[in-house]
Structure 1
Amino acid sequence: MLGLNYKLRELEKMGREIRVGLIGCGQMGRGMISQIEGMKGMRVVATADLHTSLIQQAYLKAGINEQEIVLTGQIEEAEQAIEQGKVVGTVYSELVTSLPSVDVVVDATGVPNLGAEIAWKSILNKKHIVMLNVEADVTVGPLLKQMADASGVVYTGSAGDEPGAVMELYDFADAIGFEIIALGKGKNNPLNHEANPSSAEAEAKSKGASPKMIASFQDGTKTMVEMNAVANATGFLPDKPGMHGPSGTVNELSSLFQEKEKGGILSSKGIVDYVNGVAPGVFAIISSDKEEVHHEMNYLKMGDGPNYVLYRPYHLTSLETPLSVARSYFHKEATIAPWHGLQAETVAVAKKDLKPGDRLDGIGGYTVYGKLLTHSEASAVNALPIGLVDPNVVVTRSIKQGEIITYGDIEQEKESMIWKLRSLQTQSINKTPVENKLVKLNPILV
């Protein structure tokens, strides 16, 4: 089988290209546009963002002439522009998801509700969907994957995002028969559950990033969500609520991630976790029950065993997303998807004392942070998933700082798309096999 690079070259030689529709022109989206513009056989032909100036800047910085950028909200005008070799900018995400010329949609919004809606509409329009929106994926990804499978399109997370990078190590180790003890990623800042946009403002400004995004890294939510995606893809679980999160170097990982009776920190194998000190890398801890394999690993300077570390010291976020685009287009395969369903849940925890009438402002905000539990643990306490948190959610009782927020603690003023999809997903999980086929075929009607 030819590599993706060869397939892309062949596609270009035939005068064709994979036409990508991008929604969200923030830091991730802008980088992806420039990366793809330097590739063979692929182009971002349409981009949606509330700020069309960002779209124009992104295309200009990618080397596209201003005359080739068409701003429109009309599908006919957009289609005509694309057929003429131009690119389209719009404020309407639904324009991108419905354009006949678009083969693959990429969601780079980072907003759970919007990402869920984008994926939903892309699948209904028979388009592959690549999610740079792990928050939406861990909330309603199992349903979206079920829909995509039934529609004959690919639902996938992104290469370059940490869950996708972890999955590459998992697939490699699993394919050649290693026992996989643990999967994890590095965290590059101290855990601070009280981090918020105000406290993160200075760092965000220095990095040219959103204060909410930086706060979501600092308070641990992003780490929890990312390893939640790995759990749903592999069936691996957090060894304890919130994971262990030890500090260590790459060389220390193999001794850290072994059972407690052997001097490590684990109560069980097949777990997900994170480590302070190995960012921006991702890792897999592997072992074998074969003497000759241990001999070979020792010869290859992989360590003395019994555990060994596979470590990737980088992940290039949206710059690698084109690989998932190409893989879905050529091979109809996902980079990472919730193949095991809801194995874990990132639940909302009060960032401060909350009182009745308070609104939950969302990921990276002032009111909540995420904590990773197994799905059974979360279900047992009726915990509210972090991906369902938005300003339409109002607190109905006093909640102490550090307390898990439950469905019984809140009410909705307006049901958003992600809440509707979560409800459908719950119905799907609870249905019989015959009823479940109806959800797959037409979830709107169930």
Structure 2
Amino acid sequence: MILIDTALQRAEAENRPIRVGMVGAGFMARGIALQIIRYTPGMRLVAIANRTLERAVQAYTEADVPSDAIRYVDSPATLAAALAAGAPTVTDDALLLCAADGIDVILEVTGAVEFGAQVAVTAMRHGKHVVTMNAELDGTLGAILQVYARRYGVIFTLSDGDQPGVTMNLYRFVRGLGVKPVLCGNIKGLHDPYRNPTTQANFARQWGQNPYMVTSFADGTKISFEQAVVANATGMRVAKRGMFGPTVPSGTPLADVVHDLYPLEALLAGPGIVDYVVGATPGPGVFVLGTHDHPRMQHYLNLYKLGKGPLYLFYTPYHLCHFEVPNSVARAALFGDTVLAAAGRPMVEVITAAKTDLHAGQTLDGLGGYMTYGLAENADVVQAERLLPIGLAEGCTLLRDIPKDGIISYADVQLPANRLSDQLRAEQDALFWAENR
């Protein structure tokens, strides 16, 4: 990104690199490690935490770090010594990194809400910026985590590269032109709410990914979180529960059909909406539809091949995930800039729907599992009906039967004991929805 590259080159030349500790060593995290170590001047990946140490070591060795140079640490003292020596470091205790001197930014790359919350809060309490790829965490607790970030004088942000961050960058670009964004959209290749880790196993194996994560892409949970966090950053809403999510013939150019995919009144009345489309190209990109109220500017937009309006299409035809994450670290550490952050009271939540008939006494599994899928819903509805956020559903025990496609509420479950995520959610609800209590 222009400006960031110059700042990072200066940081390298002046020997003041940004020191990064990464939590997680899965498929995406290993790509980030490779990008930072091999291709990002002015930044050092000084430590990696993962519950399986072998994966943390693998993240380093895949980036050509010699295995005999890597130190294992299990205490503040051994971590401090390794960091002081400049040795690449691994640990199975993520909270060690969050509390350590010698680390400027924590990269959280787990996709887990409860664990991600523990990492984020601990890191911020110790004065560290947090950059996360965890839309599930931000979509569940992002508003209160921004309160914590302000309290501790740090940045908490989602990352560049993943679709929400790419969307937010495009939104800011469009808004900066004087065009009013009325829809933030996402392009997907598949949506089937009944997919599960068994049906997605072959695809996951082909790409070396987690079948539960892959399932969350297919069953609509991930797209719901992605659009929810964009809504919460922009003040937009959803036009209906689950969004419109139209499907077009595979390979259909978005520009040919986008003007007819969504009811115009849903875009122009109110703060705008978030939504998605299945099957269009360029996929898997993102797009923004905007309007302009000045006739001369409308004339210029038509001259520049964006059409006569009233809707103007802007899109980014790719998202490059881990390649762009170092930009997010630099934006936070060098410029105090967030890529995507909840702007206040939540606008859209992701609620829990039953993927199959469920029965009292069952314990709900995790995101992208066999039992539930997520749907985007406006937050005021979620509060009024006390619906269960799917980010908090894992580990809950059902108190009654729920039919397939039924929506699960707080009244339907017993929450697990002593979860930080539930405590943070209670703080968030009390702060932003006091009049609804």
When normalised by structure 1's length, the TM-score is: 0.92
2:80: which partner in 1? Answer: 79
Structure 1 residue 23 displacement after superposition: 0.3
Contact 2:244 2:262 in 1 (8 A): no
Structure 2 gaps of 5+ residues are: none
Letter in 1 for 2:219: D
Contact 2:25 2:50 in 1 (8 A): yes
2:376: which partner in 1? Answer: 372
Question: What SS does the aligned partner of 2:247 have?
Answer: coil
1:53-90 CA deviation, whole Å, 9 max, x = no partner? 11112111112122321111122222222222211100
Contact 1:123 1:153 in 2 (8 A): yes
Which of residues 416, 421, 425 in structure 1 aligns to 2:419? 416
Structure 1 residue 265 displacement after superposition: 8.7
Aligned pairs, number: 428
What aligned pairs does 1:262-411 form with structure 2 within 5 A after superposition?
A: 270-276=272-278, 277-278=280-281, 279-391=283-395, 393-411=396-414
The question of 1:114 aligning with 2:115 is answered: yes
2:179: which partner in 1? Answer: 178
1:238-270 CA deviation, whole Å, 9 max, x = no partner? 111100111343213541356457xx9987661
Question: What SS does the aligned partner of 1:320 have?
Answer: helix
Letter in 1 for 2:304: L
Structure 1 residue 412 displacement after superposition: 2.2
Question: What SS does the aligned partner of 2:138 have?
Answer: helix
- Give me the CA root mean square deviation: 1.8
1:88: which partner in 2? Answer: 89
User: Structure 1 vs Structure 2: percent identity of aligned residues?
Assistant: 34
Contact 2:182 2:268 in 1 (8 A): no
Contact 2:363 2:398 in 1 (8 A): yes
When normalised by structure 2's length, the TM-score is: 0.94
1:425: which partner in 2? Answer: 428
| Distance change >3 Å, CA 413–CA 339, structure 1 → 2 | closer
Mapped to 2, the partners of 1:32 and 1:422 lie a distance apart of 30
| Distance change >3 Å, CA 366–CA 266, structure 1 → 2 | farther
Structure 1 gaps of 5+ residues are: 433-446
The question of 1:230 aligning with 2:230 is answered: yes
| Distance change >3 Å, CA 257–CA 406, structure 1 → 2 | same
Structure 1 residue 304 displacement after superposition: 3.2
Letter in 2 for 1:77: T
The question of 1:250 aligning with 2:251 is answered: no
The question of 1:68 aligning with 2:72 is answered: no
Question: What SS does the aligned partner of 1:237 have?
Answer: coil
The question of 1:141 aligning with 2:145 is answered: no
1:221: which partner in 2? Answer: 221
| Distance change >3 Å, CA 173–CA 384, structure 1 → 2 | same
Mapped to 2, the partners of 1:139 and 1:68 lie a distance apart of 39
Letter in 1 for 2:87: K
Contact 2:345 2:432 in 1 (8 A): no
